[in-house]
Structure 1
Amino acid sequence: MAGHSKWSQIKRKKGANDSKRSAMYSKHIRAIQAAVRSGGTGDPAGNLSLKNAIAAAKAATVPVDNIDNAIKRAVGAGEGAADYKEQTYEGYGPGGTAIFIETLTDNVNRTVADIRAVFNKRGGSLGTSGSVAWQFEKKGVLLLTDTSEQAQETAIEYGAEDIQESDEGLEISTGPADLYAVQDALTAAGFAIESAQITMIPSNTVAVNSDDAKKLMTLIDALEDLDDVQNVYSNADLPDEE
């Protein structure tokens, strides 16, 4: 779930319990294998979708061996292998928040039925295509703990669009195509990257009270628990205690 800060999302993912972590790993493996099949190659240098999927998996601490094995299996898979397709869904959550969902599915009817059921049960509503997508923009986001002027200047030189500084470090936004140029430049300059991934950033956020925030987090957790759901984004600005 993405709100006003990516730091909270990364910490939440890394802090998942073992069962959650196992399910999360499975989602990343599915994304990697789908990227190999759609891109026609297991070489991330020639397959941007695969490069993005690998970066996201590493950010979620998926072991390198799992990633490599997933690529090998996908490269060797024949016509009988599952053909997962990207599908997005949009909806509304408590407090008037917008929710954007990315899925990988081999059965669209099952996926939309599962997502609708979660919305109906958790106080949200499934919207039509385009109902909230306009409120989100695809961006590259890098997180690093170094807040030095050199780090910021390096990021700007290689394509950073925005830099937010906090007590935790720097949150750097780029265009999707510039993410890896900025990442490689920072790495070459000796800066340790906490996370680098393609994500969806809301153009505006909606402040929600504590009660709605708890309901929203319950809704998002339920959506993320669905096997076909890869990512859930919201434009909620959550209270600090949440």
Structure 2
Amino acid sequence: MGRIFEVRKSKMFARYDKMAKGFTRIGKEIAIAVKKGGASPETNPALRRCMQNAKAINMPKDRVEAAIKNALGKDTSSYEEVLYEGYAPHGIAILVETATDNTTRTVANVRSLFNKTGGTLGNSGSVAFTFRHLGMFKLNPEGLSTDELELELIDAGLDELGEDSDGNLIIRCEFADFGNMQKALEEKGITPISSETEWLPSNTVEVTDEQAEDVFKLIERVEQDDDVQRVFHNMA
């Protein structure tokens, strides 16, 4: 009985950590959006997107409002978005998105985490060219015709329209068309469940289960760093 309790408690803390990390990530994205485009979601598309994503992960409304208010403060940190590139064990390419107010601290931490888990941090441009930088929108399929939607969004830069494992519609476009796609969906009265940019590998690498464990160990350690937003890889 004690063992079952410990396992349940461990899973509960893991879910809490994931939720807390998600709230922190969205909070930083809100701060960046407000600094760049102001605190009004009506005139700031990036902030509207952040608020949609906050709702998707059940981030409390008061935390969203607090993040916006804090971003307006004169003494708050100005976050810089920095992409780090490198390799995990077994030649797996890794991209690390960060939002930091101290790049010296962040690069030192990320490099240390790579080194401790058998990876190597590379130079800018050493890995990113093997990925595609895309925009991704998740939509509730209710009331939508995929055939009509596909035709109507081609001019906005539609690259791919499909479904995820939960039956949600997934729209992808090139990163350069991200704003155009957001605008096109808004003009059609469609509010995405969530929308974000992502890095998809042009080619994937097959690994064994044991090798995958090594790679996931690095990813998990890197994701725990406070400055890290998301981590992408090319493992199949």
TM-score (norm 1): 0.77
> Are 1:142 and 1:183, in contact at CA under 8 Å, matched by a contact in 2?
no
1:173 is paired with a residue whose SS is: strand
Task: Give the distance between the partners of 1:149 and 1:45, measured in 2 at CA.
Answer: 25
1:107 match: 102
Segments of 5+ residues of structure 2 without an aligned counterpart are: 1-12
Task: Give the distance between the partners of 1:71 and 1:135, measured in 2 at CA.
Answer: 35
1:131 paired to 2:131? no
Task: Give the distance between the partners of 1:32 and 1:202, measured in 2 at CA.
Answer: 27
Task: Give the distance between the partners of 1:202 and 1:58, measured in 2 at CA.
Answer: 28
1:178 match: 180
1:206 is paired with a residue whose SS is: coil
Cα 1:18/1:168, change in 2 over 3 Å: closer
1:216 match: 215
Tell me the CA shift for residue 142 of structure 1: 2.4
Tell me the CA shift for residue 108 of structure 1: 1.2
- CA-to-aligned-CA distance 1:142-196 (integer Å, 9 cap, x gap): 23464998134214412322123465433321231233245436754xxx85433
2:31 match: 33
Segments of 5+ residues of structure 1 without an aligned counterpart are: 1-14, 238-242
Once superposed, which parts of structure 1, at least 4 consecutive aligned residues long, lie more than 6 Å away? none
1:47 paired to 2:44? yes
Q: Percent identity?
A: 35
Q: Which amino acid aligns with 1:57?
A: A
> Are 2:81 and 2:97, in contact at CA under 8 Å, matched by a contact in 1?
yes
1:142 paired to 2:137? yes
Tell me the CA shift for residue 21 of structure 1: 1.5
Q: Which amino acid aligns with 1:120?
A: N
Q: Give 1:19's match in structure 2, choosing from 17, 20, 25.
A: 17
Q: Give 1:62's match in structure 2, choosing from 59, 62, 67.
A: 59
**How large is the Cα RMSD of the aligned pairs?**
2.7
Q: Which amino acid aligns with 1:178?
A: N
Task: Give the distance between the partners of 2:25 and 2:141, measured in 1 at CA.
Answer: 30
- CA-to-aligned-CA distance 1:38-83 (integer Å, 9 cap, x gap): x1411234334434433443333322331122112222x01x2212
> Are 1:85 and 1:106, in contact at CA under 8 Å, matched by a contact in 2?
yes
Cα 1:144/1:210, change in 2 over 3 Å: farther
1:161 match: 159
Q: Give 1:85's match in structure 2, choosing from 55, 80, 101.
A: 80
**Number of aligned positions between the proteins:** 217
Mean CA deviation greater in 218-227 or 207-216: 207-216
> Are 1:151 and 1:186, in contact at CA under 8 Å, matched by a contact in 2?
no
TM-score (norm 2): 0.79
Q: Which amino acid aligns with 1:141?
A: M
Task: Give the distance between the partners of 1:184 and 1:232, measured in 2 at CA.
Answer: 29
- CA-to-aligned-CA distance 1:120-144 (integer Å, 9 cap, x gap): 1112110111001112232221234
Higher RCO, Cα 8 Å, sep 6+: 1
> Are 2:33 and 2:46, in contact at CA under 8 Å, matched by a contact in 1?
yes
